[in-house]
Amino acid sequence: MSEEVTAVGWDAIDQALLQVYGEQEPSHYGTMIPYSLGGEDPLDGISAYKSETPIPHWHFVTYGFSELYEKEFENKEYSGYGFELTFRLVRKENEEEPPAWALNLLQNMGRYVFNSGNVFRAGDYLDANGPICLDADTQLTALAFTHDPELAEIDTPNGKMEFIQMVGITEDELEAMQTWNTLGMLEAGIQQIPNYITDLTRASLLQNPQIVEAAEQGMEKEGSNTGFLFVSQLAWQVEKKGWFNKQSHVIQLGAKQADVISKLLRGRILKDRSLSLVGQNITIIFKAADQVGFHEDEQEITITLNRAAVDELSRKLVPQESQFELTSLGGVSFQILKTHIKNQEGEVVKTIG
């Protein structure tokens, strides 16, 4: 006879929720066919609780990023990936069942983690490149991640884990988080988004002048926490020109990310911190130095910049198709390419640059 599988990790999550919701029976959505056996949904389950404070909302909690049953991961300190996701969404009047799109969004986060191996931690962000709810008229096109305000880190028989809450954010809020930091930006807007509850109908926090000022002061004083930026359009081209086949190098960037890279250079290099742009086939690292120059090392390019070069580059990095050189960086030019934003069907819905 096979041994009975005990869900010790699952039980630990339930115990944490019991402290918040008592005997409330949540709406629970389980997965029929495990992901490992060809099922479509990677998470074993998602529970949705009704919360009334500070405003009526759904509180979603996932089961599956941590180890719910026996210990399988080699790392004994953490259970699985070390977290479960939560998501708080405004609950409409008389709404008895949580909206399906939120469940799908959480399962999509599971697919991302399981397929890439990348995990979410408080302070992370993710650009959805479109509305987080596809059929909604909403400005929320990205996600930020912070600690759940009611669920603290717990110890389970399989290791410790924390509850990381997803928060829907706008495009300009995402840029502010990239050029300053996620947690600072969320904290600055806590009066407008209490408990970091996602409201599809809300406007950008940056319509509030006080929040704009907080973000600007934070970036000026602290710089940016973004040391690595994943850039979908990033290339290093080597061209030969003239009679003597003199080599010329071209850094290609997409127009969509040109403006944020401009701000990140100021928030990182001028604070004597490096900035790595990570593409599919190349990584370009910008570092502060007295001498301006570049160095090639297989799939990694290092560009050194002084203050004058940062000032010039940040001025020229605008979301417009162009090609330019820096006064002090011989042999390298920058090319800004158009960015085509596509929907799920692959159709171009917006062109930048």
Confidence of residue 1 (pLDDT cuts 50, 70, 90): very low
Q: What span, in angstroms and rounded, lies between the C-alpha atoms of 337 and 329? A: 20
Segment 118-146 shows an average pLDDT of 93
Average pLDDT score, the chain = 91
Q: What span, in angstroms and rounded, lies between the C-alpha atoms of 69 and 72? A: 9
Q: What percent of the chain has pLDDT over 90?
A: 74
Looking at per-residue pLDDT, the higher value among 32 and 294 belongs to 294
Over the stretch 33-85, which tens digit does the pLDDT of each residue have? 777 667 788 999 999 999 999 999 999 999 999 999 988 888 899 999 999 99
CA dihedral angle for residue 113, residue 81, residue 119, residue 300, rounded to 10 degrees: -100
Highest mean pLDDT: which range of 126-135, 231-240, 283-292, 293-302: 283-292
Instruction: Give the bridge partners for 45, in sequence order.
Output: 30, 63
- Cβ-contact 39, 33 below 8 angstroms: yes
Looking at per-residue pLDDT, the higher value among 135 and 33 belongs to 135
Looking at per-residue pLDDT, the higher value among 307 and 40 belongs to 307
Q: Does residue 19 surpass a pLDDT of 70?
A: yes
Over the stretch 155-213, which tens digit does the pLDDT of each residue have? 999 999 999 999 999 999 999 999 999 999 999 999 999 999 999 999 999 999 999 99
Tokens standing for 105? 């969004």
Conformational region of residue 77, where left means phi above 0, alpha means psi within -120 to 50, and beta covers everything else: alpha
Q: Render the burial of 198-230: b for 16+ CB within 10 Å, e for the rest.
A: bbbebebbbeeeebbebbeebbeeebbbbeebe
